[in-house]
Amino acid sequence: MAVRTRFRPDRGLTVRMVWTVFLLGLLYVLFVAALVALLKSVFWVVVIAGGLLFAQYWFSDKIALAGMGARTVTPQQAPELHGLLDRLCATADMPKPRVAISDSDLPNAFATGRNQENAVVCVTTGLLRRLDTQELEGVLAHELSHVAHRDVAVMTIASFLGVLAGLVTRFAFYSGLFGGRGRNNQQGFPVLLAVLLVSAVVYAVSFLLIRALSRYRELAADRAGALLTGRPSALASALTRVSGDMARIPTRDLRAASAFNALFFAPAIPSRASLAGLLMTHPPLERRVEQLARISREIGEAGR
């Protein structure tokens, strides 16, 4: 059961999440049906699809933390970080997630987990070194809003279909489902091409849908985090500082971390306002800062 918090409901985000899950669910049904028809094996398709979905949903937090080399920390090990989260969770009236730290110079943070009771917020040592208390508070509020709005779980489920499309192709290719050699191989080759085509289409559609949702959810998290702390300027300062310092990180490290872009507070590879922006996980920095400036003006006018 979802836990209510003091984060303001975001109807725009909710509508987008519902539509994304619906469209991807429809695509998933069509994909599985096509695989069953092509591979003539209901058992293997169900085993692969069901097993992968369960693993990705149930162990998403452990997978993300392991990928970033992060470890959970106690209040004794990170008192200031825990203290900030304690205050923010009390303000938001939500369960406190687990706290993790990744020993990485990349200045970033992310939240993951299948629900509020099993969520974890992770920050890197690079972020802790670079931000002051108010900036860090803004980043943590941003990440907590992802948990409160449940878009972390939705993104985990939504990304499943694209992963499945790639893994099914590899599994079918190497498992001998297309026949052996000689005439059997000739009969299996058209099936291989059909599976590759279906998988490519499914991956492309799911990729674009997930990217569109990801960009909007980052704007929603900026908005919710700024309203919770009442200091949009601190979050804008954190965004600007993190994005600027990202350029000092070795390109090799940025590329290695780019696999986690959909989770990160700021992308390892910056987004730009262009056609390529359709493929990005985050909106451009300028758009995020402009939104926070507008919220700051609204808060100032409301306080007069």
CB atoms inside a 10 Å sphere around CB 137: 22
**Active-site residue identified among 80, 143, 286, 301:** 143
For 163-190, b where at least 16 C-beta lie within 10 A, e where not — what string? ebbeebbebbeeeebbeeeeeeeeebee
**Amino acid (1-letter code) at residue 53:** L
Residue found by looking up tokens 């969770």 in the block: 89
Rounded to a whole number of angstroms, the CA Rg of the chain reads 21
Taking phi over 0 as left and psi of -120 to 50 as alpha, with beta for the rest, 164 belongs to: alpha
Distance CA 134, CA 223 (A): 16
HEC secondary structure over 165-212: HHHHHHHHHHCCCCCCCCHHHHHHHHHHHHHHHHHHHHHHHHHHHHHH
Distance CA 29, CA 155 (A): 18
Residue found by looking up tokens 């058209």 in the block: 190
Is 143 a residue of the active site? yes
Residues taking part in catalysis: 143
